[in-house]
Structure 1
């Protein structure tokens, strides 16, 4: 592992130390060795030594001040020097790992995840003990099993809230993998790959094709990060020429169309992936079932350990099957990158690397081999992708957002667009800041404010700058995912406002009589307040709500519903009111203060009245169930 003490020992024991010698000693990449050298040189000036370079040979130690250097050596021998990054960040990650997992974790596993030495983790744990003091949490250790942390849920949530900001702040860039691959347009590559499969008369399942596309997206991301493979060995005799030729042609196509250079070892790895996916079709059904069984068994054990739901994710299991089989075909598992692929995994996916370690341990075939850190990183991406899918669902469930700001209107419009880019299903309401600002929290999922608000809104509020950079948008996304893991709809969404017992068909001719008749039924069935029928008729006589395309949206003068709801009347034959056709009537029965709900309803009515086909679909509905299907299609 990267440790200054061991590196200094090499310089004391050898006249010249080459990069190759250091790589063999520490078993890491060139990039990691150069970083280690840079970190050691940070101590040069004040400690009486210099690391000198001899071109094409290596490095040697020059001592300028024996007394200072001797003191430094003594210090190094007694202290584990932290060269591996921010200690506070590591302590936060360790706490997060311990709190979010049910079982014991070994110190070696934590060291592997954070890419530091065992001694560094032991030192971090001592600092961690000070951090958790006062939180009513207990660190428990068990020989041969590791450590775990136990405590009340209140204490767990309290300290997680404290440390998560630190984790997010230090790993903002790592979420870029998912952002990069989301924007990558790969339809032409997929089409070319399918054409090549046809030309080579190769049959590959749709899932296998998609698995190759995922591999290529990872490849493109690594190229964008200048993160290259240094060592991967495959059984070329086993794979054969056909997979190599196909991999070469596909690589040439990508190089020409995306202006990238794909190195030979990348093509070797791609060929092994293609061969593995092709031969996965030829696996005897008995062997395939055995592979599925071993994967599912490993996932079930992980679910039991960590209270996850991996074994229920069919897409994850299929992806793992298509990944594990080619992996088992390789002769050696030495894949090494310029920088660890784990760096591509977002802060909230710290556990993914740990889960992949556990998966290997629980998988009866994989555990026979020593996989490199980068091989484990590739495996971890499947688990990270599972989390990403779940997180995307959470973001889609955030429906009602308020932005509070005293900034310029032009900035507010930009804020609005940026926020909606993260929350695709959200309705955003902008409010100017006021000391007397009040919200009904039951209908709000998230408040983004440029100024602190009163304490009663703390759980919903995230403070933001007046201008959101791309980096801060990623940070905001991570904060919301952590803060709103249990995001849910606090007030009914539009499609939940329709009820079967207030859904009617009518063949009458008098519009106002029809409104009176069915508004009274809404009162009788407990949805509307007793003054609803009269108030609705008064409002309709003053100003009709019969719109274009035969749509009407009458509502009362008072917003005092018992149950937020919309009564629906489908006319069997169009009728006329104030020189307009009426075919579909929506009687709006909503409580006051539900600003988002009113906004949703208004948008729905506008969509229906401006779309003749939508009105036709609703008008022709033969049942309430069919009507609900059409509403969802429109919305």
Structure 2
């Protein structure tokens, strides 16, 4: 027996007539990958009973193996005898059947749904409530049930229910009287809407698409056609609606309004032999603006792309972790934003049927999304309701590999006066630990007034002997390295380190070459490591236990022989490898683009070698490297320096990557290794060679 959700997934597979990406179900239903796999296995077992199979393809997704006879049988099963419906869906299904038919027998309904009489009475009470909001009544007599009320209101109620039950593609097919998509074997639209009229209006919508050079979403198509059908019915009955003058003034200045007025309205008046007022042109314009897809802007400066990037970056900061697949997330979000912003502006937002499930499964992500999105869009005069926020959170959740928490660590600052040194400490904390939230600065005498239930720890510049219900960490106002370590260890957060400038690496390499001309170097790699550590402000001893290059650069973060159309694509290849490991967010990649575009960098550290990196403040959640070689060099930014090797670094602290850097410098100075790297076509072979390089260093030390 399939659940309601599994039936919905199966319906989508049936309608697709091809492969469906599995991750679509994750984002569409807000499910984990594991839950989707479970649902698909249940569906596969159920289908086996009808000799229908499922084909899986790692690249394309999943598809049904079914001939036309099996497809027709499956459509009939899903339409006529659902295996399982929850109470809400069962009530909607029953209301729709009642609106389709003149009347129904109660015993036949019980048999069809496999429910008891008491359950039927409960469902009918819900149907009464649903229809009551449409000025329709439910009548029961002699074992029969039927709906009483105006036919136009029945039609309106049916349209709303239908849009909840089937896809927009099928809505259009039903509107147009497509024989293959008639519900229950009867074209239910013809008594209310002439297929000829619907076809005419459909052609009007297609004409508007061509003239405006836009593309409507499936939902936009169906909503616009249905709006036009309803508008014509209103005008036939001499019922005109007024538009707010200010709103009319705004939409009447749009190019879409001009095209509707000059082309669509005259055609509608000629065909239907009635006058179409300008207010209707205004409402049609509203639907057009809310229905069209955002164009896939090739220019990355598209306002909607930039808004999507801002939303992603701020959500990453709020969640304290990077999103995965950010290109897809930004693209999907930017496409969604344009019509969504118009819908919000014109009051066309609709209910999100997935919202209850989203609230139950990840309310914290919804809260973060709502705060960030409405903050970003405030300057555009737009505020999304919770339903629209739910749709946006689905885009964002597609970039999350597992459940997230938006909870931040909160600390209170205490000093002898609550001023002076505490202000210095706060500024230092905000610089070194931006993931911490400062609950406030307090004097020692205010200790008993602290909101202990709202904070995780106290950072104090003075000794506190009182027993308190939270952790107390004694620190210097300037935060010594020991203080940073204590805060990080006790609160589970990492301090930001100073960025490693590429010209420092160049300088170290030059120093080593000078030394090698005048002396025999026993351990070149150790010399490089000590010099890097010294120039970073540390000592030449006491930095044992640092991570080696092959620990920070796994084989999965190495790409060889890649093709890139420009430096942006080349840099994105390297940053994507770090994002996939959860080390950086979109903000870091954007910062690299900015630095290269504005020539505020020293990334080119050798002939053909680029070393992109930015500050930890730019969205770093770990330390790691990626390595990309290009089949053909690309000019890096406006300076045009050709590069074929990009080693991208993200460092969350000051020291853990220093040993790895020394190995890299050793590699860059090894002509034979660089020639191997230029010709390499196997990531594992590159990693093995790097591992061997580290082994040479260990042998030299021993």
Same fold (TM over 0.5): no
TM-score (ref. length: structure 1): 0.26
State the TM-score, normalizing by the size of structure 2.
0.25
